[in-house]
Each structure stands twice: as C-alpha cells, then as structure tokens.
Amino acid sequence: DQQVKQNSPSLSVQEGRISILNCDYTNSMFDYFLWYKKYPAEGPTFLISISSIKDKNEDGRFTVFLNKSAKHLSLHIVPSQPGDSAVYFCAASENAGNNRKLIWGLGTSLAVNP
Amino acid sequence: GAGVSQSPSNKVTEKGKDVELRCDPISGHTALYWYRQSLGQGLEFLIYFQGNSAPDKSGLPSDRFSAERTGGSVSTLTIQRTQQEDSAVYLCASSRRGGGYTFGSGTRLTVV
C-alpha cells in the first residue's frame, strides 16, 4: 500500500519551460514533505521541503506547493535546465523535523531536452 | 569525510552466502539510516541509529538482516544467507539530529 504516490514515472520537458512533478499521499498525519533528486549511480540529494503549516515554499527555480485538503503536493521547476534531468523522489514524514522513517514515492524521471 | 561513503559500490554474491555492507557517515552526524531500493520500488526504511540510543530496527525485513554502528560512526549492514529477493541498492544516509539527510552513493547488491 503506497502511502506516497508519484503517478507519473517519467516526464519530458523542453529547456526553459516549466517542469511540474506531482505527488499524492494518503496519510493525513503526514506533516512534513520533502523532495529529493537522484542522478544515476549517486545517492538522493535533498532539494526542498515544506511543512504542513505552509502551502508554498520557494527556493530559486524550485517551488513546492502543498494542498492539504487534496493531499497533494507538486514541485515546480522554472525555467527547466538540462542539468535538472534526474529522478525526483517525494517523501513524507509524520513528525515535522523528525526525519526517521520517511515514506517515499517511487520517483519520477525528468528529462529536460535542450 | 566530506560525504557519506559506502563500500563496496557493487557486490555480486551467490544465494546463501553472507554479505557485509559498510557505511562511513559524515563526521559529526549523530544519526545514521539504512534504506534499500528494490527494482520498481520506493526507498524502503531498514534501520535507524541515533547517538547512543537503541537503534530502531523496525524496518528490517527478516532476522537475516542485522546492523551495527561502532563508536557512533561506521556502520555495517549484514545480510545472512542471502536470497535473490535481497537484490537491491542499499543506501546509507546520515544527518545531524533534526537535520536533512545526506545519502551515500549506495551499494548495488546482486544475489545470483
């Protein structure tokens, strides 16, 4: 039973356009959400996070939106760059700041085409 | 070191053999985690060490899996009598308490 779902296994966008990666969750107790990026043969690296008390967090080209009523979050990358091509994982936790036992989605592979 | 180091990067072993996977966390990080990613699956939590506290072993899939962390630093994940379903990428991560994870590059384990 996937508590964190990334329904799109892959996404392809043109350089300079917006990339939107989606994530849905089922556990209403989740209150802290993170996005990680993973290049081949490397471990995941932290990208951006959001607490459930917010509905938006922005860091440069990356913005995460949280819709608690819909149990949905999305990562926006604008403008997309070829170096953004990677697998993006959404993760969630029940305790804000407690990063034990993060529950992970299966990932979305993003390809940004020059 | 500057990052989380895992060894070996690749391991092929015969079914039934024991394997040991090593993780060197970032110096000063008190928390250490083991995850694995099987083909087509998300990251699966295995075990968590925090300082001198008793480890959280709730994610270990069977008693063939064990892990230890010596001196609050290096950790070893041991899989006894490996099975083909143990084939996965095993990822180690460390963090300061309450901080974000830094992952190693993982060990790709293939059981043949």
Q: Nearest CA to CA, how far is B42 from chain A (Å)?
A: 4
Q: What is the pLDDT of residue A22?
A: 97
Cα–Cα distances (Å) from B57 to B32, B45, B50, B54, B112, in that order, read 12, 9, 12, 9, 27
Give chain B positions within 8 Å (CB) of A43: 4, 91, 93, 102-106
Average pLDDT over residues A9-18: 95
- State the pLDDT at residue A97: 53
A114 has a pLDDT exceeding 60: yes
B48 or A81, higher pLDDT: A81
Average pLDDT, chain A: 91
C-alpha A102 chain-centroid distance: 13
Mean pLDDT, rounded, for A18-35: 94
Quote the CA–CA distance of B94 and B73 in Å, as a whole number: 10
Which tokens sit at A72? Answer: 């949905």
- Averaged pLDDT score across all residues of chain B: 90
B100/A4 CB distance under 8 A: no
Query: DSSP secondary structure string, A20-36?
Result: EEEEEE--TT--EEEEE
At residue B53, the pLDDT reads 83
CB proximity B103 to A under 8 Å: yes
Report the gap between the CA of A17 and the closest CA in chain B (Å): 28
Q: Would you state the pLDDT for residue B97?
A: 66
Per-residue pLDDT reduced to its tens digit, B85-104: 999 999 999 987 666 788 99
Residue A112 has phi, psi (to 5 degrees) of: -105, 115
Of B86, B51, B81, nearest in space to B64 by CA? B81
Please give the average per-residue pLDDT across B60-66, as a whole number. Answer: 95
Give the mean pLDDT of B4-17: 96
Instruction: Kindly identify which residue of chain B lies nearest to residue A90, measuring between CA atoms.
Output: B42
Strand order in A62-67's β-sheet? Answer: A4-5, A19-25, A72-77, A62-67, A56-59
Q: What is the least distance, in Å, from the CA of B4 to any CA of chain A?
A: 9
User: Which residue carries 């040991």 as its tokens?
Assistant: B20
Q: What is the pLDDT of residue A99?
A: 52
- Dig out the tokens for B20 from the structure: 């040991």
Q: Which amino acid is at B61?
A: P
**Whole-number pLDDT of residue A42:** 85
Residues 6+ apart with CB under 8 A from B71: none
Residues 37-96 of B with CB under 8 A from A: 40-45, 48, 56, 58-59, 91, 93, 95
Closest listed residue to residue A100, CA positions, set B112, B71, B35, B13: B35
User: What percent of chain B is modeled with pLDDT above 90?
Assistant: 62
Interval A52-103: pLDDT, tens: 999 999 999 999 999 999 999 999 999 999 999 999 999 998 875 555 678 8
Q: What is the 3-state secondary structure (H, E, C) of A84-105?
A: HCEEEEEEEECCCCCCCCCEEC
Q: What does each C-alpha distance from A103 to B7, B49, B52, B56 come to in angstroms?
A: 25, 17, 24, 15
Between B64 and A98, name the one with better pLDDT.
B64
Confidence of residue B67 (pLDDT cuts 50, 70, 90): very high
The partner residue sitting opposite B105, judged by closest CB among A42, A89, A100, is A42
Which whole-number Å values give the CA distances from A10 to A15, A87, A89, B55, in the listed order? 16, 8, 12, 36
